[in-house]
Amino acid sequence: MPDEVLDCRGQRCPLPVIAVARRLPELPVGTVVRVLADDPAAAVDIPAWCRMRGQEFVGQITGPDGPAYDVRRRH
């Protein structure tokens, strides 16, 4: 389960990525943040951001709130 949820529904690229980039460094290493994002670009850009920033992309989940992306702070 995620430690925190960022609700980015209704936001267009690149806002969901900016949201996770702002929030993750404020949380302890190991924390998992779930990003709710219905912009289809998030499915590409959140994993790409994790790769570029050396953070862990845990996976994509489609739940009752629509598509969600889990990211773990690694450093």
Minimum distance between the CB of residue 21 and another protein, rounded to whole angstroms? 4
Stretch that binds another protein, among 2-10, 26-34, 42-50, 67-75 (CB under 8 A): 42-50
Please tell me the distance from the alpha carbon of residue 71 to that of residue 2, in angstroms, as a whole number: 9
Lookup: tokens for 29: 């290493």
At closest approach, how far in Å is the CB of 40 from another protein? 5
Our finding on whether 2 is near another protein (CB under 8 A) is no
Which tokens hold the place of 44?
A: 């590409």
> What is the C-alpha separation between 30 and 12, in angstroms, rounded?
27
**Catalytic (active-site) positions:** 13
